[in-house]
């Protein structure tokens, strides 16, 4: 940590500040800049709130030098994390496809879609039982009934279940029945939920919030990891910008940045990331080309009648063709 001092800081005040910091067991070094005096602070600063220094009169700005996350940090854990779930994997050079409807609507629907996507190469089944909707008047998902239907579909196809947890009250149900617990974008900084879900020691798919930086996503992963779970999958699903031609702006640069900073696998959600089904194919191909370990794609057998997210769902037929192209691109970049 480096403190940049104001130009006219008096020596007596600088000395007092040094003594205060050294009293915390930290080392202080004087740095002479261009017209600027700085203090470098070394030692274990993890419990020091760097912002508190900004309130000291002679401190002009504070610069952080080291990363604020540890468990998620590749510098400390150079090996890629590879996640294994019921014989399927995410990470480690594979291309994993997670597919299924936005929300579970009926046994027939979820089973039919699960069979279709499995036949096309998907190895995980997604499907919402609890849906976060911006309107209290919109369809909120089938709830625990939806979870039961996911279990049936999973049993009959062998695909592990990926579904979103919205609230503490269903922690036990998810711990028992769900293979990969999804934390949605709107809950990325619901720290109380992150902490609880981390204690379950199940794989967690953590979505980036609409206004959250890559570093904040890693800090939220740190919450989950510090609960005890080793398996977190980081999900890029688009951020909010001024552009309105797409529902969100899919930030594909986040994929290589995350893979450089962290050892955790990265998944991309081109369905929410764009909001339009005709953009799902090109952005899925781009996600594989940019180095994503996995894709999570909304597939619906009758998108025009879907109870939510119809415009961004593709049909099983489109998914089938897309999966083939995805494998070709994966091969093209793997050599």
Sites for a second copy among residues 218-257 (CB under 8 A): 219-220, 222-223, 226, 239-246, 249-257
* Span near a second copy by CB under 8 A; candidates 108-116, 146-154, 175-183, 289-297: 289-297
The smaller minimum CB distance to a second copy, of residues 159 and 194, is found at 194
Which of 10, 19, 24, 31 is close enough to bind a second copy by CB under 8 A?
Answer: 31
Nearest by Cα to 248 from 236, 231, 258:
236
The smaller minimum CB distance to a second copy, of residues 46 and 87, is found at 46
- Cα–Cα distance between 3 and 48 in angstroms, integer? 13
The smaller minimum CB distance to a second copy, of residues 84 and 139, is found at 139
Site string for a second copy, 54-73 (x = CB under 8 A): xxx------x-xx-xx----
Q: Which residues contact residue 260 at a Cβ distance below 8 angstroms, ignoring those fewer than 6 apart?
A: 74
CB of 152 to a second copy, least distance (A): 25
Q: How many residues bind a second copy (CB under 8 A)?
A: 115
Q: Any contact of residue 152 with a second copy (CB under 8 A)?
A: no
Q: Which residues contact residue 215 at a Cβ distance below 8 angstroms, ignoring those fewer than 6 apart?
A: 67, 68, 69
Sites for a second copy among residues 184-213 (CB under 8 A): 186-187, 189-193, 195, 209-211, 213
Q: Any contact of residue 16 with a second copy (CB under 8 A)?
A: no
Give 82-136 as a 3 state SS string.
CEEECCEEECCCCCEEEEECCECCCHHHHHHHHHHHHHCCCCEEECECCCCCCCC
Instruction: Name the helix (H) or strand (E) containing 181.
Output: strand 180-183
């Amino acid at each position: 940590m480096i403190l940049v001092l104001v130009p006219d800081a008096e020596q007596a005040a600088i000395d007092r500040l040094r003594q205060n910091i050294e009293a915390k067991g930290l080392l202080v070094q004087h740095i002479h800049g261009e017209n600027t005096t700085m203090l470098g602070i070394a030692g274990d600063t993890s419990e020091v709130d760097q912002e508190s220094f900004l309130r000291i009169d002679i401190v002009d700005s504070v610069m952080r030098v080291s990363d604020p996350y540890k468990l998620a940090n590749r510098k400390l854990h150079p090996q890629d994390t590879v996640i294994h779930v019921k014989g399927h994997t995410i990470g480690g050079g594979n291309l994993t496809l997670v597919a299924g409807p936005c929300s579970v609507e009926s046994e027939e629907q979820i089973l039919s879609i699960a069979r279709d996507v499995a036949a096309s190469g998907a190895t995980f089944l997604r499907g919402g039982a609890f849906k976060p909707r911006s309107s209290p008047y919109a369809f909120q998902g089938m709830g625990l009934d939806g979870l039961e239907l996911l279990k049936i579909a999973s049993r009959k196809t062998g695909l592990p279940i990926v579904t979103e947890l919205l609230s503490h009250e269903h922690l036990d149900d998810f711990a028992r029945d769900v293979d990969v617990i999804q934390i949605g974008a709107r809950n990325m900084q619901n720290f109380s939920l992150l902490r609880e879900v981390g204690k379950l020691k199940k794989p967690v798919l953590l979505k980036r919030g609409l206004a959250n930086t890559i570093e904040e996503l890693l800090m939220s992963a740190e919450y989950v990891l510090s609960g005890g779970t080793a398996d977190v999958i980081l999900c890029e699903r688009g951020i909010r910008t001024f552009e309105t031609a797409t529902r969100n702006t899919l930030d594909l640069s986040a994929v290589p940045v995350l893979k450089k900073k962290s050892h955790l696998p990265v998944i991309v959600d081109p369905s929410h990331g764009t909001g339009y089904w005709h953009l799902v194919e090109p952005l899925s191909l781009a996600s594989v080309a940019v180095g994503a370990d996995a894709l999570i794609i909304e597939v619906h057998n009758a998108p025009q009648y879907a109870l939510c997210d119809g415009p961004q769902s593709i049909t099983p037929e489109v998914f089938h063709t897309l999966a083939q192209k995805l494998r070709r691109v994966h091969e093209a970049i793997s050599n």
